[in-house]
Each structure stands twice: as C-alpha cells, then as structure tokens.
C-alpha cells in the first residue's frame, strides 16, 4: 500500500479510525477522507450515548464480541495518552422480574466467554450499595464499563490523519464511484477539479448511507439500511444524584436494541433512553423530518414489510413512548423507581443505521465486505464506536492487505 492513495468515504468515527490506522501503519500511503457534511462525526458518531461497552452482550466468536473487547483497551489507552474524557462509571444490568433471571444467567455466561473484565453477579442488597436508588431483584455489575465523548475522539482521529500528511475533505457528497484502469474515480456532485479524486483503494464507511454508497460501487443493495430514531429524556440537574453509573435492563435477545436505560454523560448530565422508533428519514433526528425518497425506498424493500409483520407490536409500544412522556418514563421507573415525569425534560436524539436483510431479519453482527479494491462496511451499529480502533485494525490487517 505504500505510495498509494486510499480514499475513505465517511468521516464518522469508524472511517476516521480506519484512515488513521492506514496513515500510521502504512507510511507513504496518502489517505483522503471524503465527507458530505462540513464537520466530522456529524451523524451517528456525534449523536450517541458516549458509552464504552465492555463486551457483555455479543455472541462469542462474532465480530462484535472480538472487536469490541479488543477495541476497549485500545480506546482506553488512546484516551489516557491524549487526556481525552474517559470515566469508568460502571454498569448495572438489572433484572426486575423473575422471568428475566434466566436471560441474565445466559448473559453472564456470554460475557465470561467474551472475557469481560471483573464482571460479577450481585444480589438485591448489593444493588442498593452500588446504586442506592435502583430497583431490581438481581443484577450483573461491570465496573470497567466507561463513558467518553466520541465526537472529541473523532476530531482527534482527524487531527492524527492530517498530521500524518492525509486530508479530510469536507463538503464532498459522493455521487459516483467508477472503476478505471489502475484505480477508482470518486466523484462529488460539485463541478471543478475538487469534485473528482482518483484513488488506488477505497473504504466505504458511510453509516446511515452505507447501502446507497455501496450501490454506487456496484456492491449490491443488501443489507438495506433502516433508520431507527432513539429519543432521550434528560434528568433535571437537581435529580442527577439519583444515578451514579450506567443502569441497563436485561436485553431481549430478539432485538438488537438494549431498551431504555440511564446513562451519565461526561458533562455531568444524565440521559434516560433511548426508545427505538422507525425514523421517516435517514437523518430523521426529529419527528417532523420526513424524506419521501427514503420512505419510498423502505416501502419498496420486501424486508421492511417482513420486519413490520414480526415486530409491529413492539413498534406500537415504542411509538407510544415517543409521543407520551408518561409512557416513556413508566419503563424507566422499573429500574429507578423514584424517577418520574417531573424529573425529566426532553433531550436529544440519535439515528441508528440498522441493517435489514431481505427476509426481514435485523442484522446484528458487523458486516464488512471486500470486492477487489473496494471495501464496504455494510453494518456497524453499536458498539462500533467502542470498537472503532479494532475495526480499523481489522480492515488494515484482513481486508486491505493483499494475500
């Protein structure tokens, strides 16, 4: 790869981590990151909860499990070296009903197989010692689970790329990708010389637009990205003392979403959420944001209707919580009984790029495909931010390196 030009489409945290990894490990390689927005980390990387996941949830042997666990240590070390925000607040995964105890036991075994450090079971009494205001009948406790600010980390990755001689080209929406003899032409909709760049290799890390950008590269239309908006409440400042660390429910294995939980942020605020409602636009951070093009694409895809047929009841419940603060907080009170509607205000929202197969299956694991000189990250939801440095190493080690 020395003396080559590698293009990265997407200046989210995965794209920037990949560009940084190439620039540092392949001296002489020119890295150019292409981003349609006018800032880095404008979408998923800048609208997430800031949690550094320890690897509790993911099936052993999956890319998620492997890269999350590897990524935690890399990210921790990087943040410590650069003096970036990184706080090990710990996490309680609470069972609030007897029928959740079996799932919690399975989760404990999964986490042990993933070598999650210092994870332990705790009793009802120990829950109160860790989180005095939490409910629950039993829990798992992960003291090494942390919080950070991924937007700050993404900016630091971008600075690393530029200091290594690379370029972050903002305001460059990719509109065509064409293979030519000896390379790949990547074009933006803008006119002039800066609207076209030729690269030797290309890595697609387009997040919410990963399927549409992959189609530009003749990478096929599946899996399709379905945007789910996650909405948050914020505890009022005088009520943040109700929560010391992260408080999560026992997840339902049928869904890739973790359910409403309590998340301290590095700025001292505490989020409650998110829910998971189908967004009406790929960048639908508000209810009023609607894209006819995105909706038409969803309606035309068979997987959308098959997903809806399986999960419509859950969808109705999530929308009820979106429209009613009382319904939203009813779920939250199971974990912190003392919190109520008057203790919160509406917070922000993020949009998750959820990959969906044609048969209606919500794709859980990371998907990274290679076709010749083009590598496409087709699915990289949470914990992709946690795993970003490990994902980058995986791409350089296993994908960009020719056999």
Q: Helices 63-82 and 150-163 meet at what angle, rounded to 10? A: 80
Q: How far apart are the first and last CA of the chain?
A: 12
Report, as an integer, the average pLDDT of 18-26.
95
338/393 Cα distance (integer angstroms): 44
The model's pLDDT over 73-99, given as tens digits with 9 standing for 90+, comes to 999 999 999 999 999 999 999 999 999
> What are φ and ψ of residue 270, in 5° steps?
-130, 125
What is the token pair recorded at 235?
A: 């505890």
Report, as an integer, the average pLDDT of 133-152.
97
Asked if 93 and 143 touch (Cβ cutoff 8 Å), the reply is no
272/347 Cα distance (integer angstroms): 9
64/110 Cα distance (integer angstroms): 13
137/123 Cα distance (integer angstroms): 7
Whether residue 1 has pLDDT greater than 80 = no
pLDDT at 85: 97
Distances (CA, A) of 121 to 93, 106, 108, 124, 264: 10, 12, 8, 10, 22
Q: If 0-12 CB within 10 Å is exposed, 13-18 middle and 19+ buried, where does residue 128 land?
A: middle
Report, as an integer, the average pLDDT of 194-211.
93
Please give the angle made by the CA atoms of 309, 357 and 57, to the nearest 5 degrees.
90
What structural domains does the chain harbor?
A: 5-46+151-223+364-399 (3.50.50.60), 91-143 (no CATH), 224-362 (3.30.9)
The model's pLDDT over 333-379, given as tens digits with 9 standing for 90+, comes to 999 999 999 999 999 999 999 999 999 999 999 999 998 899 999 99
Altogether, the residues listed in the chain come to a count of: 403
Whether residue 193 has pLDDT greater than 60 = no
Distances (CA, A) of 400 to 118, 200, 394: 35, 11, 9
Closest by alpha carbon to 22, among 9, 31, 33, 32?
31
Specify the higher pLDDT residue, 11 or 190.
Answer: 11
187/140 Cα distance (integer angstroms): 50
Report, as an integer, the average pLDDT of 139-161.
98
Whether residue 128 has pLDDT greater than 90 = yes
CA 367 to chain centre: 13
Check whether the bond before 355 is cis (ω within 30° of 0): no
pLDDT at 313: 79
Give the pLDDT band (50/70/90) at residue 70: very high
pLDDT at 279: 93
Burial 31-45 (b: 16+ CB within 10 A, else e): bbbbbbbeebbbbbb
pLDDT at 255: 65
Give the pLDDT band (50/70/90) at residue 403: very low
Instruction: Say how many C-beta atoms besides its own lie within 10 A of residue 230's C-beta.
Output: 25
pLDDT over 70, % of the chain: 96
pLDDT at 195: 87
Specify the higher pLDDT residue, 300 or 193.
Answer: 300
Give the pLDDT band (50/70/90) at residue 191: low
pLDDT over 90, % of the chain: 83
pTM of this structure: 0.94
pLDDT at 316: 80
336/130 Cα distance (integer angstroms): 13
């Amino acid at each position: 790869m020395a003396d080559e030009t590698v293009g990265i489409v997407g200046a989210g945290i995965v794209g920037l981590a990949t560009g940084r990894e190439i620039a540092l490990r392949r001296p002489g390689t020119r890295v150019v990151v292409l981003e349609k927005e006018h800032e880095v980390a404008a979408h998923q990387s800048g609208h997430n909860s800031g949690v550094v996941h320890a690897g509790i949830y993911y099936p052993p042997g999956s890319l998620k499990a492997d890269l999350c666990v590897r990524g935690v240590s890399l990210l921790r070390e990087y943040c410590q070296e650069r003096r970036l925000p990184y706080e090990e607040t710990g996490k309680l995964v609470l069972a609030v009903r007897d029928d959740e105890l079996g799932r919690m036991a399975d989760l404990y075994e999964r986490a042990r197989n993933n070598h999650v450090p210092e994870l332990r079971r705790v009793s009802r009494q120990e829950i109160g010692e860790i989180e005095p205001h939490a409910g629950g009948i039993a829990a798992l406790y992960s003291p090494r689970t942390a919080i950070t600010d991924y937007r700050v980390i993404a900016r630091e990755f971008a600075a690393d790329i530029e200091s290594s001689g690379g370029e972050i080209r903002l305001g460059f929406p990719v509109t065509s990708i064409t293979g030519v003899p000896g390379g790949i032409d990547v074009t933006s909709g803008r006119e002039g010389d800066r609207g076209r760049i030729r690269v030797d290799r290309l890595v697609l890390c387009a997040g919410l637009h990963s399927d549409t950008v992959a189609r530009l590269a003749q990478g096929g239309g599946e899996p399709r990205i379905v945007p789910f908006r996650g909405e948050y409440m914020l505890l009022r400042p005088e009520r943040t003392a109700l929560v010391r660390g992260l408080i999560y429910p026992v997840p339902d294995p049928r869904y890739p979403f973790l359910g409403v939980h309590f998340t301290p942020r590095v700025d001292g605020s505490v989020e409650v959420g998110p829910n998971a409602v189908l967004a009406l636009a790929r960048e639908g951070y508000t209810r009023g944001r609607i894209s006819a093009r995105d909706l038409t694409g969803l309606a035309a895809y068979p997987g959308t209707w098959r997903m809806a047929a399986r999960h419509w009841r859950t969808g109705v419940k999530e929308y009820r919580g979106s429209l009613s603060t009382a319904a939203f907080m009813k779920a939250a009170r199971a974990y912190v009984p003392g919190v109520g509607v008057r203790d919160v205000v509406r917070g922000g929202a993020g949009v998750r790029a959820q990959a969906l197969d044609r048969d209606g299956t919500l794709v859980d694991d990371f998907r990274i495909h290679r076709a010749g000189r083009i590598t496409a990250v087709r699915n990289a939801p949470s914990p992709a931010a946690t795993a970003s440095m490990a994902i980058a190493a995986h791409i350089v080690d296993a994908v960009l390196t020719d056999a």
